[in-house]
Chain A
Amino acid sequence: MLRCPLKWATGLSCPGCGSQRALAALAEGDLAGAVRVNYILPAVGLYLALLGAGWVFGDNGAMGRLYRRLTSGSAVMAVGVAIIIWMVVRNLAGL
Protein backbone atom coordinates (compact mmCIF):
# COMPACT_ATOMS: atom_id res chain seq x y z
CA MET A 1 0.00 0.00 0.00
CA LEU A 2 1.11 3.55 -0.75
CA ARG A 3 1.51 5.84 2.19
CA CYS A 4 -0.16 9.23 2.28
CA PRO A 5 2.56 11.89 1.80
CA LEU A 6 0.88 14.17 4.37
CA LYS A 7 0.89 11.36 6.92
CA TRP A 8 4.51 10.58 6.14
CA ALA A 9 5.61 14.24 6.37
CA THR A 10 3.55 15.45 9.33
CA GLY A 11 2.04 12.41 11.01
CA LEU A 12 -1.41 13.91 10.45
CA SER A 13 -4.18 11.93 8.78
CA CYS A 14 -5.64 13.62 5.72
CA PRO A 15 -9.42 13.40 5.06
CA GLY A 16 -8.87 10.54 2.60
CA CYS A 17 -6.46 8.47 4.71
CA GLY A 18 -7.86 4.97 4.92
CA SER A 19 -9.16 4.92 1.34
CA GLN A 20 -6.84 2.07 0.38
CA ARG A 21 -7.73 0.09 3.50
CA ALA A 22 -11.42 0.78 2.78
CA LEU A 23 -11.04 -0.53 -0.78
CA ALA A 24 -9.18 -3.59 0.48
CA ALA A 25 -11.96 -4.26 3.01
CA LEU A 26 -14.60 -3.79 0.32
CA ALA A 27 -12.79 -6.22 -1.94
CA GLU A 28 -13.15 -8.79 0.82
CA GLY A 29 -16.84 -7.93 1.19
CA ASP A 30 -16.31 -6.34 4.62
CA LEU A 31 -18.61 -3.29 4.35
CA ALA A 32 -18.50 -2.43 8.06
CA GLY A 33 -14.72 -2.64 8.04
CA ALA A 34 -14.59 -0.32 5.02
CA VAL A 35 -16.66 2.31 6.83
CA ARG A 36 -14.67 1.97 10.05
CA VAL A 37 -11.32 3.06 8.54
CA ASN A 38 -12.76 6.31 7.18
CA TYR A 39 -16.20 7.55 8.19
CA ILE A 40 -16.49 10.31 5.60
CA LEU A 41 -15.87 8.11 2.55
CA PRO A 42 -19.48 6.76 2.42
CA ALA A 43 -20.85 10.33 2.69
CA VAL A 44 -18.51 11.65 -0.02
CA GLY A 45 -19.32 8.59 -2.14
CA LEU A 46 -23.05 9.26 -1.81
CA TYR A 47 -22.59 12.94 -2.70
CA LEU A 48 -20.55 12.06 -5.78
CA ALA A 49 -23.05 9.36 -6.79
CA LEU A 50 -25.91 11.90 -6.61
CA LEU A 51 -23.86 14.42 -8.64
CA GLY A 52 -23.23 11.70 -11.22
CA ALA A 53 -26.91 10.75 -11.31
CA GLY A 54 -27.95 14.39 -11.77
CA TRP A 55 -25.38 14.80 -14.52
CA VAL A 56 -26.59 11.67 -16.35
CA PHE A 57 -30.33 12.14 -15.92
CA GLY A 58 -30.38 15.85 -16.68
CA ASP A 59 -32.06 18.87 -15.19
CA ASN A 60 -35.70 17.84 -15.17
CA GLY A 61 -38.11 17.12 -12.35
CA ALA A 62 -37.23 16.22 -8.77
CA MET A 63 -33.80 14.87 -9.77
CA GLY A 64 -32.96 18.21 -11.39
CA ARG A 65 -34.04 20.14 -8.31
CA LEU A 66 -31.90 17.92 -6.09
CA TYR A 67 -28.96 18.34 -8.49
CA ARG A 68 -29.27 22.15 -8.49
CA ARG A 69 -29.46 22.14 -4.71
CA LEU A 70 -26.38 19.91 -4.36
CA THR A 71 -24.39 22.06 -6.79
CA SER A 72 -25.32 25.43 -5.29
CA GLY A 73 -22.43 27.52 -3.98
CA SER A 74 -23.40 27.08 -0.34
CA ALA A 75 -23.82 23.30 -0.65
CA VAL A 76 -20.35 22.92 -2.18
CA MET A 77 -18.88 25.15 0.55
CA ALA A 78 -20.62 22.96 3.15
CA VAL A 79 -18.99 19.85 1.67
CA GLY A 80 -15.58 21.54 1.90
CA VAL A 81 -16.19 22.59 5.51
CA ALA A 82 -17.38 19.07 6.40
CA ILE A 83 -14.17 17.59 4.96
CA ILE A 84 -11.99 20.02 6.98
CA ILE A 85 -13.99 19.34 10.17
CA TRP A 86 -13.58 15.60 9.58
CA MET A 87 -9.81 16.04 9.23
CA VAL A 88 -9.61 18.01 12.49
CA VAL A 89 -11.85 15.58 14.39
CA ARG A 90 -10.07 12.44 13.19
CA ASN A 91 -6.67 13.82 14.16
CA LEU A 92 -7.86 14.95 17.59
CA ALA A 93 -9.83 11.78 18.30
CA GLY A 94 -7.44 9.41 16.55
CA LEU A 95 -10.12 8.04 14.21
Chain B
Amino acid sequence: MEYWIIVDNRHAGPYSAEQLLDAGLTADTLVWHEGLTAWVRAGEVGELAAGLERQHMTDSERQAESFAEERDDVATAEAYKSDNRQADACVAEETQCVEPCPPAYIAWSVIVTVLCCTIIGIPAIIFSSMTKSAYYKGDIAKARRYSETAQWFIIASIVLGVIGVPFQMALMGLL
Protein backbone atom coordinates (compact mmCIF):
# COMPACT_ATOMS: atom_id res chain seq x y z
CA MET B 1 0.00 0.00 0.00
CA GLU B 2 1.16 3.58 -0.63
CA TYR B 3 1.29 6.05 2.23
CA TRP B 4 1.43 9.81 2.44
CA ILE B 5 2.83 11.52 5.53
CA ILE B 6 2.86 15.00 7.04
CA VAL B 7 6.38 16.29 7.56
CA ASP B 8 7.32 19.89 8.23
CA ASN B 9 3.65 20.90 7.88
CA ARG B 10 3.65 19.54 4.36
CA HIS B 11 2.29 16.44 2.76
CA ALA B 12 4.81 14.04 1.28
CA GLY B 13 4.46 10.77 -0.53
CA PRO B 14 3.75 8.27 -1.77
CA TYR B 15 6.02 5.98 0.19
CA SER B 16 5.87 2.25 0.74
CA ALA B 17 5.66 0.90 4.29
CA GLU B 18 9.29 -0.28 3.99
CA GLN B 19 10.51 3.17 2.97
CA LEU B 20 8.72 4.80 5.89
CA LEU B 21 9.96 2.26 8.42
CA ASP B 22 13.53 2.47 7.09
CA ALA B 23 13.35 6.24 7.44
CA GLY B 24 12.64 6.02 11.14
CA LEU B 25 8.90 6.57 11.15
CA THR B 26 7.51 7.24 14.62
CA ALA B 27 4.18 5.99 15.92
CA ASP B 28 3.01 9.61 16.21
CA THR B 29 3.73 10.66 12.62
CA LEU B 30 0.50 11.42 10.78
CA VAL B 31 -0.08 9.17 7.78
CA TRP B 32 -2.79 8.69 5.21
CA HIS B 33 -3.54 6.05 2.62
CA GLU B 34 -6.27 5.66 -0.02
CA GLY B 35 -9.57 4.90 1.68
CA LEU B 36 -8.93 6.82 4.90
CA THR B 37 -11.06 9.90 5.50
CA ALA B 38 -8.59 11.62 7.82
CA TRP B 39 -4.95 11.61 8.84
CA VAL B 40 -4.17 9.06 11.53
CA ARG B 41 -1.14 8.27 13.68
CA ALA B 42 1.17 5.68 12.13
CA GLY B 43 0.72 3.57 15.28
CA GLU B 44 -2.95 3.15 14.37
CA VAL B 45 -2.32 1.78 10.87
CA GLY B 46 -2.04 -2.04 11.03
CA GLU B 47 0.89 -2.61 8.66
CA LEU B 48 2.92 0.34 9.96
CA ALA B 49 2.18 -0.44 13.61
CA ALA B 50 3.39 -4.01 13.12
CA GLY B 51 6.55 -2.76 11.41
CA LEU B 52 7.22 -0.27 14.20
CA GLU B 53 6.78 -3.04 16.75
CA ARG B 54 9.36 -5.19 14.94
CA GLN B 55 12.03 -2.52 14.80
CA HIS B 56 11.25 -1.18 18.26
CA MET B 57 14.88 -1.50 19.41
CA THR B 58 16.64 -0.17 16.30
CA ASP B 59 18.62 3.03 16.23
CA SER B 60 16.74 5.82 14.46
CA GLU B 61 19.93 7.64 13.41
CA ARG B 62 21.12 4.62 11.49
CA GLN B 63 17.67 4.23 9.97
CA ALA B 64 17.75 7.78 8.69
CA GLU B 65 21.10 7.10 7.01
CA SER B 66 19.73 4.07 5.22
CA PHE B 67 16.85 6.23 4.07
CA ALA B 68 19.41 8.59 2.58
CA GLU B 69 21.15 5.79 0.71
CA GLU B 70 17.89 4.62 -0.70
CA ARG B 71 16.95 8.10 -1.84
CA ASP B 72 20.52 8.85 -2.92
CA ASP B 73 20.38 12.10 -1.03
CA VAL B 74 22.05 12.75 2.32
CA ALA B 75 20.29 16.09 2.76
CA THR B 76 16.93 14.34 2.60
CA ALA B 77 17.78 12.28 5.65
CA GLU B 78 18.77 15.36 7.64
CA ALA B 79 15.60 17.14 6.56
CA TYR B 80 13.55 14.07 7.29
CA LYS B 81 14.89 13.81 10.82
CA SER B 82 13.93 17.39 11.59
CA ASP B 83 10.66 16.92 9.70
CA ASN B 84 9.85 14.05 11.99
CA ARG B 85 10.18 16.30 15.00
CA GLN B 86 8.00 18.90 13.28
CA ALA B 87 5.38 16.30 12.52
CA ASP B 88 5.39 15.23 16.15
CA ALA B 89 4.81 18.84 17.14
CA CYS B 90 1.96 18.85 14.66
CA VAL B 91 0.28 15.98 16.47
CA ALA B 92 0.64 17.82 19.76
CA GLU B 93 -1.23 20.79 18.28
CA GLU B 94 -4.04 18.63 16.97
CA THR B 95 -2.84 18.96 13.35
CA GLN B 96 -3.82 22.64 13.20
CA CYS B 97 -0.60 23.52 11.44
CA VAL B 98 -1.59 21.49 8.38
CA GLU B 99 -2.70 23.66 5.51
CA PRO B 100 -6.52 23.58 5.28
CA CYS B 101 -8.23 22.02 2.29
CA PRO B 102 -9.30 24.49 -0.42
CA PRO B 103 -13.10 24.77 -0.55
CA ALA B 104 -14.60 21.79 -2.39
CA TYR B 105 -18.09 23.33 -2.80
CA ILE B 106 -19.70 19.95 -2.20
CA ALA B 107 -23.10 21.23 -1.10
CA TRP B 108 -23.19 23.77 -3.94
CA SER B 109 -22.38 21.26 -6.62
CA VAL B 110 -25.02 18.81 -5.34
CA ILE B 111 -27.65 21.57 -5.18
CA VAL B 112 -26.98 22.88 -8.70
CA THR B 113 -26.95 19.33 -10.09
CA VAL B 114 -30.36 18.55 -8.68
CA LEU B 115 -32.02 21.93 -9.08
CA CYS B 116 -30.44 23.85 -11.95
CA CYS B 117 -28.62 21.95 -14.51
CA THR B 118 -27.66 18.30 -14.38
CA ILE B 119 -25.30 18.48 -17.33
CA ILE B 120 -23.10 21.18 -15.81
CA GLY B 121 -23.68 20.09 -12.20
CA ILE B 122 -22.20 16.61 -12.63
CA PRO B 123 -18.72 17.91 -13.57
CA ALA B 124 -19.00 20.24 -10.57
CA ILE B 125 -19.55 17.21 -8.30
CA ILE B 126 -16.65 15.36 -9.93
CA PHE B 127 -14.28 18.30 -9.37
CA SER B 128 -15.52 18.71 -5.77
CA SER B 129 -14.69 15.07 -5.17
CA MET B 130 -11.29 15.37 -6.88
CA THR B 131 -10.48 18.42 -4.73
CA LYS B 132 -10.85 16.32 -1.58
CA SER B 133 -8.95 13.34 -2.99
CA ALA B 134 -6.07 15.50 -4.19
CA TYR B 135 -5.92 17.25 -0.83
CA TYR B 136 -5.70 14.02 1.14
CA LYS B 137 -2.98 12.80 -1.23
CA GLY B 138 -1.06 15.96 -0.35
CA ASP B 139 -1.28 17.61 -3.74
CA ILE B 140 -2.45 21.03 -2.55
CA ALA B 141 -1.76 22.72 -5.89
CA LYS B 142 -3.96 20.24 -7.72
CA ALA B 143 -6.64 20.49 -5.02
CA ARG B 144 -6.67 24.26 -5.50
CA ARG B 145 -7.02 23.93 -9.25
CA TYR B 146 -9.88 21.42 -8.93
CA SER B 147 -11.54 23.66 -6.35
CA GLU B 148 -11.48 26.57 -8.80
CA THR B 149 -12.80 24.41 -11.62
CA ALA B 150 -15.69 23.19 -9.45
CA GLN B 151 -16.42 26.80 -8.58
CA TRP B 152 -16.64 27.80 -12.25
CA PHE B 153 -18.96 24.92 -13.11
CA ILE B 154 -21.23 25.94 -10.22
CA ILE B 155 -21.25 29.58 -11.35
CA ALA B 156 -21.97 28.55 -14.95
CA SER B 157 -24.78 26.31 -13.79
CA ILE B 158 -26.42 29.01 -11.69
CA VAL B 159 -26.02 31.66 -14.42
CA LEU B 160 -27.55 29.37 -17.05
CA GLY B 161 -30.34 28.47 -14.64
CA VAL B 162 -31.15 32.13 -13.95
CA ILE B 163 -30.87 33.18 -17.63
CA GLY B 164 -33.09 30.25 -18.50
CA VAL B 165 -36.06 31.37 -16.39
CA PRO B 166 -37.38 34.18 -18.66
CA PHE B 167 -36.87 31.97 -21.71
CA GLN B 168 -38.86 29.21 -20.08
CA MET B 169 -41.62 31.64 -19.21
CA ALA B 170 -41.70 32.93 -22.79
CA LEU B 171 -41.78 29.40 -24.16
CA MET B 172 -44.60 28.41 -21.84
CA GLY B 173 -46.51 31.47 -22.93
CA LEU B 174 -46.03 30.46 -26.56
CA LEU B 175 -46.63 26.75 -26.15
Q: Name A's B-contacting residues (CB within 8 A).
A: 2-3, 5-6, 8, 14-16, 19, 40-41, 44, 47-48, 51-52, 65, 68-69, 71-77, 79-80, 83-84, 87
Main secondary structure of the interface of A (DSSP, over half): helix
Q: Are B113 and A15 in contact (CB-based, < 8 A)? A: yes
A2 touches B122 (CB 8 A): no
Given the known inter-chain contacts A16-B118, A79-B125, please indicate yes or no for A52 contacting B107, CB distance below 8 A: yes
Residues of B within 8 A of A (CB): 35, 37-38, 104, 106-107, 110-111, 113-119, 122, 125-126, 128-134, 136, 164-165, 167-169, 171-172
Interface of B: prevailing SS: helix
Q: Which residue of B lies closest to A14 (CB)?
A: B118
A48 to B93, CA, bound (A): 30
Distance (whole angstroms) from the CB of A15 to the closest CB of chain B: 5
Most buried by A among B114, B115, B133, B171: B114
Q: Which of B113, B132, B133, B136 contacts A83 (CB 8 A)?
A: B113
Q: Which residues of chain A come closer than 8 Å to B171, judged between CB atoms?
A: 3, 8
